[in-house]
Amino acid sequence: MLPELDEERVRHRIARRIAMEFENGDVVNLGIGIPTLVSDYIPEDVHVIFQTENGVVGAGPKPEKEDLRYIGAGGRCLSVLPGGACIASDLSFGLIRGGHLDATVLGALEADQEANLANWMIPGKMVPGMGGAMDLVTGARRVILATTHTNKKGEPKILRKCRLPLTGKAVVSLIVTEFAVLRFREGKLVLEEIAPEVTLDQVRAATEAEFVVADPLLPMKGIEKEEVVA
Amino acid sequence: MSKRIVKPVLSAREAVAGIAGGATVMIGGFNYGGVPYTLVEALLEQGATNLTLIANDTAYDDVGHGRLVREGRVKKVVASHVGLNKTTQRLFNEGKMELELVPQGTFAERIRAGGFGLGGILTPTGVGTVVEEGKQVLEVQGKRYILELPLRADVALLRAFRADTMGNLTYRGTNRNFNPAMATAADLVIAEVDEILSPGGLDAEDIVTPGILVDILVMKGDSYYASRT
């Protein structure tokens, strides 16, 4: 069993760690949920260009005065930063599919050791549709998953093989959970970082997928910046 | 419809009067942005049923074209995302409405194909997923692509920003989304706009949709979202 962490702490921990992944000039699309928080944690010396699939390159934070003609994919108002552009959906997805995005950050229902991702439907239950997710995982150079390590029932989300319908096949580059950072290196899933609250055995028990342990296995970056909650 | 250089400016009610039951209707928008609310409200009142709705999403139960779904006026939805409209999911799960889910980039490109005279498009999106089921998968230069077919409609309802009387259109912010592509892919194109200027009132360099694609102009109304988006 994994220890239980405060939900907000989990969300922000994952976002903060992912925000360390980018280089100056990277063009990045953030999905809804935890991924949205990533923009709050981009280091000051790194300039990332955020793209929203509904038509902005160079999106900025919510402005003081809201204008409903400028929204992000989740429906929240955004600003267009100086140098930003408003574009149509066909061009926006041309950028996405055409390899012009350095990374996309998405949530996951399931991921597996073959770098497959399932995050768009649960047959018979939830049919929200894939939206832009299938194009994003197909076209972005790196697909970064922001996800809790287990589901609400405590079952592993990182599997040997996804059971739900796939969003993309062999597309995942990096998985960041509240307890671990797992990266695909030459087709193999490698555990690179681990959170202080858990042991390697606990991570193994909560992960169905086979993975290699990096040498050295590092403490999860960014946690030292979390405010200590009494 | 005979060719007209100066486009009629009609009320929303007049503009949608000819949309027949069973028609295929494209509606612009993403989430609540760029939706032609005034035209959709007029279509709700007009009463046509058995519609096939081609729109990126089905908005919300009580917003925009989501209301067409809620009122049982739609027999089929072609969209990329319907998660914000509970009625869409319910009607589909109960087998009362057809739903064709299309990846959003494929959705945009199928509309473009429909309007640009292409027989289809080859996309890598969806390869290895349920999206490729029942479709031709072609290998081109060592890479696998799904053949996706064009989408066209009887009518497109668009939301633009400024127009001139010749039907030229500009867009604002994220309201642009699928509207310019849809302008190319329907037999009748109706655009809801903020303002209608004289020819020359728009800078030719700023025009996104040339007026030859647009048949009817309608001024936006004053409902909550129409006036704010």
Nearest to B88 by CA among B111, B55, B125: B55
Q: Please confirm, yes or no, whether A53 is among the known catalytic residues.
A: yes
In B, which residues are within 8 Å of A50 by CB distance? none
Question: Residue B120 in contact with residue B106, Cβ under 8 Å?
Answer: no
pLDDT tens digit string along B117-164?
999 999 999 999 999 999 999 999 999 999 999 999 999 999 999 999
Q: Which residues of A7-29 are buried (b: 16+ CB within 10 A; e: fewer)?
A: eeebbbbbbbbbbebbeeebbbb
Please answer whether residues A130 and A84 qualify as being in contact, where contact means their C-beta atoms are separated by less than 8 angstroms: no
Q: Which pLDDT score, from 0 to 100, does residue A227 have? A: 76
B219-B223-B226 Cα angle (round to 5): 55
Residue of chain B whose Cα is closest to the Cα of A123:
B93
The per-residue pLDDT for range B161-215, each reduced to its tens digit, is: 999 999 999 999 999 999 999 999 999 999 999 999 999 999 999 999 999 999 9
What integer pLDDT is reported at residue A230 of this predicted model? 42
**Which of B33, B105, B178 faces A132 most closely, judged by CB atoms?**
B105
Q: How far apart are CA A105 and CA A17, in angstroms?
A: 12
Per-residue pLDDT band for A125 (boundaries 50, 70, 90) equals confident
> How confident is the prediction for chain B on average, in pLDDT?
97
Higher pLDDT, B1 or A181: A181
- pLDDT tops 60 at residue A229: no
Asked whether residue B129 is domain-assigned, the answer is no
Distance of CA B208 to the CA centre of its chain: 16
Residue A1 has pLDDT above 90, yes or no: no
Decide if pLDDT at A129 tops 80. yes
At residue A211 the predicted structure's pLDDT band, cuts being 50, 70 and 90, is: very high
> Is residue B143 in a domain?
no
Which of these, A191, A30, A28, A12, lies nearest to A113 by C-alpha position? A191
Q: Is A88 on the interface with B (CB under 8 A)?
A: yes
Q: Considering only CB atoms, which chain A residues are within 8 Å of B176?
A: 55, 86-89
Mutate one of B63, B129, B135 to test the A interface: name it (highest A CB count within 10 A): B129
Catalytic one of A21, A23, A44, A53 = A53
Does residue A61 contact residue A79 with C-beta atoms inside 8 Å? yes
Q: Residue A156 and residue A147: Cα distance in Å, rounded?
A: 11
Domains defined for chain A, CATH in brackets: 8-40+99-223 (3.40.1080.10)
Residue B145 lies in a domain: no
A221 close to B (CB below 8 A): no
Residue B132 forms contact with A (CB below 8 Å):
no
Structural domain tally of chain B? 1
Q: Is A55 on the interface with B (CB under 8 A)?
A: yes
Pairing of strands B143-148, B137-140: antiparallel
ipTM of the complex: 0.96
Range of the domain at B156: 12-116+152-223
**Cα(B60)–Cα(B31) distance, integer angstroms:** 8
| Average pLDDT, integer, range A140-153 | 97
Q: What is the pLDDT of residue B2?
A: 58
pLDDT for B1 beyond 60: no
Hey, are the CB atoms on A69 and B172 less than 8 Å from each other? yes
Q: What is the pLDDT of residue A56?
A: 98
Q: Which CATH number goes with the domain that contains B24?
A: 3.40.1080.10
Q: B140 in contact with A at a CB cutoff of 8 Å?
A: no
Q: Which of B125, B161, B220 would best serve as a mutation to test chain A binding (most A beta carbons within 10 A)?
A: B125
Phi then psi for residue B132, to 5 deg, are -85, -10
A56 touches chain B (CB under 8 A): yes
Q: Is residue B63 situated within a structural domain?
A: yes
Question: For the whole prediction, is pTM greater than 0.95?
Answer: yes
Q: What distances in angstroms separate CA A150 from CA A76, A168, A180, B78, B227, one per listed residue?
A: 28, 20, 11, 33, 44
Residue B53 domain flag: yes
Please give the structure tokens belonging to residue A69.
Answer: 């003609």
- Any domain includes B176: yes
State whether A129 and B129 contact (CB < 8 Å).
no
* Cross-chain residue pair A88–B181, CB shorter than 8 Å: yes
The answer to whether residue B60 sits within a structural domain is yes
Q: What share of chain A has pLDDT > 70, as a percent? A: 99
Q: How many angstroms separate the CA atoms of B193 and B209, rounded?
A: 13
Assess whether pLDDT exceeds 60 at residue A5: yes
**Rounded alpha-carbon distances, angstroms, from residue A48 to A34, A127, A160, A195, B157:** 17, 33, 33, 26, 36
Chain pair A-B, CB pairs under 8 angstroms: 150
In chain A, pLDDT over 90 holds for what percent of residues?
A: 94
Give the span between the Cα atoms of A165 and B133, in whole angstroms.
12
Q: Residues B28-58: pLDDT tens digits? A: 999 999 999 999 999 999 999 999 999 999 9
- Give domain status of residue B16, yes or no: yes
DSSP-derived secondary structure for B35-69:
--HHHHHHHHHH---SEEEE-SB--BTTBTTHHHH
Q: Which comes out higher in pLDDT, residue A41 or A127?
A: A41
Contacts of A134 in chain B (CB under 8 A): 103-106, 125-126, 129, 131
Of the pLDDT bands very low, low, confident and very high (cuts 50, 70, 90), residue A228 is low
Angle subtended at Cα A80 by Cα A139 and Cα A146, rounded to the nearest 5 degrees: 45
